[in-house]
Amino acid sequence: MSIRIGMGYDVHQLAEGYKLWIGGIEIPYEKGSVGHSDGDVLIHAICDALLGALNLRDIGYHFPDTDPELKGIDSKILLQKTMEIIRNEGYDLGNLDSTICLQQPKINPVIPEMQNTLARVMNVDRSKVSIKATTTEKLGFVGEGKGISAYATVLLVVSS
């Protein structure tokens, strides 16, 4: 069996006046992610992991923030398109393991909804989508509430 492993990382500034999208769902909060798209840090890290596993560069290469047509785009669309790219290369998702780093708000209660949303968008079984959340114990830009980051690792397997 041929397998490929990819790792992705993304970070976004948090600011008032923006919506907070994480894992394909909107989370009510006083600050949101600043970005060219909807700023979904988790989906962006997942896209980078998927593309990186097949040496296909990164999300910015495929969906540049200089493209006015992508301004404000729903990141779920970017994830769907990324999965199309992966499947066109003959691979599918074996599993995804991800971590969201955010001081506030607490998101553990909505992780199952994120898993369901991402599984649906990626057209995979929910059991293949792992999402964890952590704080940085008030250290650094995340701990100070200035930003959010996410890590994603994927295992890709040859499509059957």
pLDDT classification of 58: cutoffs 50, 70, 90:
very high
Judge whether 153 is annotated as a binding position.
no
> Is 63 labelled as part of a ligand binding site?
yes
Mean pLDDT over all residues of the chain?
96
Domain span at 23: 3-158
135 is in an annotated binding site: yes
**CA-to-CA distance for 129 and 79, rounded, in angstroms?**
14
Q: Binding site annotation covers 141?
A: yes
CATH of the domain at 80: 3.30.1330.50
| Global pTM exceeds 0.85 | yes
The total number of structural domains that make up the chain = 1
Q: Which two tokens stand for residue 14?
A: 């948090």
Distances (CA, A) of 16 to 31, 50, 99: 4, 31, 24
Q: For the residues of 94-153, what is the DSSP string, one character each? A: EEEEEEEE-SSS--GGGHHHHHHHHHHHHTS-GGGEEEEEE--TT-HHHHTTSEEEEEEE
* Residue 48 marked ligand-binding: no
Is 64 annotated to bind ligand?
yes
Using CA atoms, how far apart are residues 103 and 97, in angstroms rounded to an integer? Answer: 20
CA distance 58 to 63: 9
Find out whether 125 is annotated in a ligand binding site: no
**pLDDT score of 4 more than 60:** yes
The pLDDT tens digits for 67-109 are 999 999 999 999 999 999 999 999 999 999 999 999 999 999 9
